[in-house]
Structure 1
């Protein structure tokens, strides 16, 4: 749960700066979609949370 809250804050902060700088790039779309999934906790949020947890675990094991 702590990882999800941190990612929501991170995605929100990045999205804020991307929108403020008027950057309409694929990375901005990915950031907005990620922020929306984590924030709304839709049915797709669980697989995204699992993928994120797995990626964080994999990175920390390097």
Structure 2
């Protein structure tokens, strides 16, 4: 029996294990998780890209 997993799921699982074992912090894991969605072009890539673009626009407007 062949079981397939998406690379986004596998890397998400690896990131979760790294956070759980305290090898990386939450901020680093969040950056890895968000970049994973944008690179993998999964179903969540569009909303994640929109959220990141909105956050960057909001941060650039702060003086």
- TM-score with structure 2 length normalisation? 0.51
Q: Work out which of the two has the higher radius of gyration on C-alpha atoms and give 1 or 2.
A: 2
Q: Which runs of 5+ in 1 are unaligned?
A: 1-17
Deviation at 1:54, TM superposition (A): 0.5
Structure 1 counterpart of 2:52: 52
Figure out how many residues of one structure are paired with residues of the other and give that number. Answer: 41
Between Structure 1 and Structure 2, which shows a larger proportion of helix residues?
1
Deviation at 1:24, TM superposition (A): 3.8
Runs of 4+, deviation exceeding 6 Å: none
- TM-score with structure 1 length normalisation? 0.52
